[in-house]
Amino acid sequence: MRTDEAYLVDMLLAAYRIQEFVANLTEATFRQSALHQSAVIREFQVIGEAARLVTEKIKASHPEIPWPVIIGLRNRAIHEYFRLDVDIIWQIVKEDIAPLIAQLEALVPPEQNE
């Protein structure tokens, strides 16, 4: 059985990968690249699935992390992939990933987030 710490590391590493995937992209390039869109959406799926599996105790003790929103994005990416809006995905990448990384880094031992 995996631990909360393992799921938090999974979330953090996936968030790092999202930043890496879009590091040199403009919004226009992202909109035109099915490869980058797929890669980013896959990492959002990982973040959401790991968030779903984190215990309620951890979720309750860290309300600053928007657990339901994260899990909801995962659910939409898995079950309603045809309704994903690339503009919203880009907005989440640009506005929400860095704060999420900061929140997760505070929970994950430094040696684990590499």
CA 1 to chain centre: 22
Catalytic residue among 42, 62, 74, 76: 74
The token pair that represents 56 in the structure block: 């309620």
Catalytic residue among 17, 62, 79, 83: 79
CA 104 to chain centre: 11
Is 33 in a helix, a strand, or coil?
coil
Reported as type and span, the H/E element at residue 112 is none
| Residue 74 a catalytic site member | yes
| Residue 79 a catalytic site member | yes
Q: Judge contact between 47 and 92, C-beta under 8 A.
A: no
Question: Which residue numbers are catalytic?
Answer: 74, 79
